[in-house]
Structure 1
Amino acid sequence: MSVKERKERERAERHRLIIAAARELAEAEGWDAVTTRRLAERVEYSQPVLYSHFSGKDAIVAAVAVEGCAELAAELRRARTGRRAPKAAIRALADAYLGFARDRPALYEAMFVRPTDIPFGTDETPAELREAFGEFVAVLEPLAADRDLETFAEVVWSALHGLAVLTRADRLRVSHHKARLDVLIDQLA
Structure 2
Amino acid sequence: MSVQERRARELAQRRNQIIAAARELAESEGWGAVTTRRLAERIEYSQPVLYKHFKDKVDIVRTVALEGFGELAQSMREARLATTSPPEALRALARTYVGFAEANPMLYEAMFITPIDLAFGQSDSPPTLVESFDELCRSVSCLANGRALETVAEVVWGSLHGLVVLDRGGRLRLSHRDERIELLVEQLLRSIDSQA
TM-score clears 0.5: yes
Tell me the CA shift for residue 181 of structure 1.
1.4
- Determine the C-alpha separation between the residues in 2 that align with 1:127 and 1:19: 19
The C-alpha deviation readout for 1:135-186, integer Å capped at 9, x for no partner, is: 1100111221111000100110011011111111110112322221122111
Give me the TM-score of the superposition, normalised by structure 1.
Answer: 0.97
RMSD: 0.9
Using the TM superposition, name which of 135-144 and 98-107 deviates more.
Answer: 135-144
1:77 — aligned with what?
77
Do the aligned partners of 2:87 and 2:142 also contact (CA within 8 Å) in 1? no
- How do residues 8-157 of structure 1 correspond to structure 2 at under 5 angstroms? 8-157=8-157
Using the TM superposition, name which of 156-165 and 166-175 deviates more.
Answer: 166-175
- How do residues 138-177 of structure 1 correspond to structure 2 at under 5 angstroms? 138-177=138-177
Give me the TM-score of the superposition, normalised by structure 2.
Answer: 0.94
Q: Percent identity?
A: 57
Q: Tell me, what secondary structure is at the counterpart of 1:172?
A: coil
Using the TM superposition, name which of 142-151 and 32-41 deviates more.
Answer: 142-151
| Alignment-mate amino acid for residue 137 of structure 2 | V
- Determine the C-alpha separation between the residues in 2 that align with 1:21 and 1:178: 32
Task: Give 5+ residue unaligned stretches, structure 2.
Answer: 190-196
Tell me the CA shift for residue 131 of structure 1.
1.0
Tell me the CA shift for residue 118 of structure 1.
1.8
| Alignment-mate amino acid for residue 169 of structure 1 | G
Task: Give 5+ residue unaligned stretches, structure 1.
Answer: none
- Determine the C-alpha separation between the residues in 2 that align with 1:99 and 1:174: 13
Q: Tell me, what secondary structure is at the counterpart of 1:155?
A: helix
